[in-house]
Amino acid sequence: DIQLTQSPSFLSASVGDRVTITCRASQGIRRYLAWYQHEPGKAPKLLIYSASTLQSGVPSRFSGSGSGTEFTLTISSLQPEDFATYYCQQLDDYPHTFGGGTKVEIK
Amino acid sequence: EVQLLESGGDLVQPGGSLRLSCAASGFTFTSFAMTWVRQAPGKGLEWVAAIGGRYSYTYYADSVKGRFTLSRDNSKNTLYLQMNSLRADDTAVYYCGKRALDTGSIDSWGRGTLVTV
């Protein structure tokens, strides 16, 4: 199975900060990677697919990059509604594993 | 608007069975692959299983293979997850998801249903 390692697992930041989350795959997954945002008690939300394509309706402060084994999610200017947990998911091969998550909290 | 509504979550004894349902609306159900993802208390998201659209292939996580069965009734726009031989580590909120046609990413999610073993 393909393992995804996210870092950091916890991040404390202030409104307006630039935030970067990394997702590393145990083997190459081309660009078959998605990023999700999850707030407690809510349905997860797709942010980015195919490593760098912004899902319709998602603010442009979110961006994704990478291919192969290393990927990043960047929030250019953190907003109050962005405090949540973020997950990467690989879609290159079954099982479609998730990373362990990165919790973004208010500093 | 795409809507996914999970139901069937409950408190069950170890070794018991439960069937989850996911009622879909707002899209052509037959055309899309679907998936289940779960989140145990205090843990991250875990991919559970996936099923194709019209041709209904299925894939399962090793942790549920042989115990869970994923199926769909395209005439009722409903996805099912039959869970047998339930264990304490199956306790989680179970989310139903619709997969995008080209990328396979989960572009719509339900609010989840809680299973407690």
State pLDDT tens for residues B95-114. Answer: 999 999 988 999 999 999 99
Alpha-carbon span A62 to A97, nearest angstrom: 22
Candidate from A32, A34, A95 with C-beta closest to B61: A95
Give residue B94's pLDDT band: very low, low, confident or very high (50, 70, 90): very high
Residues in chain A closer than 8 A to B105 (CB atoms):
34, 46, 49-50, 89, 91
> How far is Cα of residue B87 from the mean position of the Cα atoms in its chain?
17
Question: Quick one: pLDDT at residue B102?
Answer: 86
Q: What is the mean pLDDT of residues B61-68?
A: 98
Counting beta carbons within 10 angstroms of the beta carbon of residue B12, is it exposed (0 to 12), middle (13 to 18) or buried (19 or more)? middle
Q: Give the tokens for residue B106.
A: 């989960």
What does the pLDDT look like over A22-49, one tens digit per residue?
999 999 999 999 999 999 999 999 999 9
Question: Could you tell me if B100 lies within 8 Å of chain A, comparing CB atoms?
Answer: yes
Q: How many CA atoms lie within 13 A of A57 on its CB side?
A: 4
A101 touches chain B (CB under 8 A): yes
Residue A107's pLDDT band, with cuts at 50, 70 and 90, is confident
Question: Cβ of B47 and A32 within 8 Å?
Answer: no
Contact assessment for residue B12 and residue B86, using Cβ atoms and an 8 Å cutoff: yes
- In angstroms, the CA B85 to CA B87 distance is 7
Question: Torsions phi, psi of B29, nearest 5?
Answer: -55, -40
Please, is A17 exposed, middle or buried when counting C-beta atoms within 10 Å of its C-beta (0-12, 13-18, 19+)? middle
Residues A89 and B36: beta-carbon distance below 8 Å: no
- Whether residues A91 and B59 touch (CB distance < 8 A) is answered with no
Q: What is the mean pLDDT of residues A85-107?
A: 96
